[in-house]
Structure 1
Amino acid sequence: MWIDTHCHLDAHEFGAESLAVAKQAAAQGVDMIVIPAVEKANFSIVKQLADTAPNACYALGIHPIYVPQASEDDLVFMRQQVEQAMADPRYVAIGEIGLDFFIPMLCEPQMREKQIHFLREQLKIARDFSLPVLCHVRKSQDQVLKHVRQIPPAGGIAHAFNGSFQQAQGFIDVGFKLGFGGAMTFTRALQIRRLATELPLSSIVLETDAPDISPAWVHPGRNSPDQIPRIAAVLAELRGIDIGEVASATAANACASLPRMQPTAFVSPA
């Protein structure tokens, strides 16, 4: 079983092909694709995709890149939507949320504070509904971890992790898994490959972040969830283990971090 724990299947790069892309992934053994929302405007879109694709589920959240145009009303709307979604078996998490201190505009003092406010308010929603979170942690691992410790959700995933071993351990200690994907396939990505090799396998989940973060053999083209098995093969090679062990461990880790997700309940028999 393969699980893509982070895929923006609704992105404009997929156009009208989103369902075909999901089916192609299923044909490659990808039994579940987690589609995180990024703003209020695409909440209904990710839900509709998850309702339509037999191997998809979804999360609701406001991404830090979309915080500049977001309002307090969006947070109120999000809480309402989460409350309604709790009856939906395909709804699995709060996400994508977090902090981004890489983009210069988002690093300006006023925008940093707004990002932090939106992260904390969304962590409160996760806490109140006992939900895990999908966290964006670009150049912000320590800061995200600080707020997660103060407002603990029911676990989660540090998406596209690229921090230190100490930061990795911090997330593991609060019950998070760490997402690895296409970046790990580049031989020059020495730190990410060291993390993927030396961290406990029990702490790792697979992701694509499609259509972004394409693996080496696709770059600079469009990433897609059907790349998960080949990305996993790189992880198996780095760790010197059988790919079957990677499949079973990463799927179990994904289900542990997103306990509402039940892949076998959604995938149609072949």
Structure 2
Amino acid sequence: MLIDSHCHLDFPDFDQDREQVLNCARMSDIQGAIIPSIGPENWQRVIQLCQAHHQLWFALGIHPCFATKESLAQLEELEKLLSGLPSKLVAVGECGLDGVNSPLPMPEQIQLCLEQMRLANRFDLPVLFHIRKAHHHLLALLDREPLKAGGVVHGFSGSTQVASEYLRRGLYLGVGGVITYPRASKTRTAVSSAPLERLLLETDSPDMPLNGHQGQRNEPQRAALVLQELSQLLDLPYSSVAQVLSQNHIRLFKRLS
């Protein structure tokens, strides 16, 4: 079950060729993908997309960069959606904290993130975290509300020290295009120092382009290139790394089938 554990295939960027994108991913041995929502505006869109494709699964949450003053009140609707535990639902997210681009002040972001973590614990689901320049806040939240089903720091780009703090709290690290840039030495070192059993493969399509593909739309098929870079970074056979990552996906997202 080698999948792209974080991509936004519901975005308009893929409206003209979504089926072709999925076929190209399968040809690259990327057998499926998890589609996180960004907020109420696309909850139904990701649900419908994943219901129409057997190789797609979804997560529901409110992204800090798309949050509003109404977001806390909208969690009641999110709770209702989660309570049915649809078969393709595998996580809560994308949620988190953003110290750069969120329209909400950090105290409100923290409360919104905390409430989504509590929902995840209530329904025994892992959490997909977006985190930017706010690691210390998220680490404090994880101590306050430990996650029963774990979670992943999506698009990890931090240091070895930050990685170790997340790993110590039971989280996985999402590995994407960042590691394909030689200048990203801090993140490459952190990823290579982490246990392979705690890494997940992702693209964040259509964003987070790989080195050599700057300015292009990112796609799930390029998760195979991230995997290739990771295997070289770890000096391990591609097939061995692929096997462990597949097991990681199934271990964290227990409802994959």
TM-score range, shorter chain: over 0.9
> 2:163 — aligned with what?
168
Q: Give the one of 203, 212, 218 matched to 1:223.
A: 218
| Structure 2: runs of 5 or more not aligned | none
Q: Is the 8 A contact 1:176 1:257 kept in 2?
A: no
Q: Give the one of 152, 176, 190 matched to 1:181.
A: 176
> 2:6 — aligned with what?
6
* The 10-residue stretch of structure 1 (161-170 or 33-42) with the greater mean CA deviation from structure 2: 161-170
SS across alignment from 1:142: helix
Aligned: 1:207 with 2:199: no
Post-superposition CA distance 1:46-78 (Å, at most 9, x none)? 011111123110000000001135433311110
> 2:64 — aligned with what?
64
For 1:71, the aligned partner's letter is S
How many angstroms apart in 1 are the aligned matches of 2:251 and 2:137? 24
Q: TM-score, normalised by structure 1?
A: 0.90
SS across alignment from 1:59: strand
Superposed, 1:2-81 pairs within 5 Å as 2-68=2-68, 70-81=70-81
> 1:145 — aligned with what?
139
Post-superposition CA distance 1:102-151 (Å, at most 9, x none)? 22x64xxx621111111011111011111100001111222112112211
Aligned: 1:114 with 2:112: no
| Structure 1: runs of 5 or more not aligned | 263-270
Compute the displacement of 1:179 (Å).
0.4
SS across alignment from 2:35: strand
Aligned: 1:97 with 2:87: no
Q: 1:32 to 1:70 in 2, by over 3 A?
A: farther
> 1:268 — aligned with what?
none
* The 10-residue stretch of structure 1 (224-233 or 19-28) with the greater mean CA deviation from structure 2: 19-28
How many angstroms apart in 1 are the aligned matches of 2:12 and 2:184? 28
RMSD over aligned CA atoms reads 1.5
How many angstroms apart in 2 are the aligned matches of 1:152 and 1:167? 17
For 2:107, the aligned partner's letter is E
Q: How many residues align?
A: 256
For 1:12, the aligned partner's letter is P
How many angstroms apart in 1 are the aligned matches of 2:212 and 2:32? 23
Q: Is the 8 A contact 2:160 2:187 kept in 1?
A: no
How many angstroms apart in 2 are the aligned matches of 1:8 and 1:178? 18
Q: Is the 8 A contact 1:156 1:257 kept in 2?
A: yes
SS across alignment from 2:228: helix
How many angstroms apart in 2 are the aligned matches of 1:92 and 1:52? 16
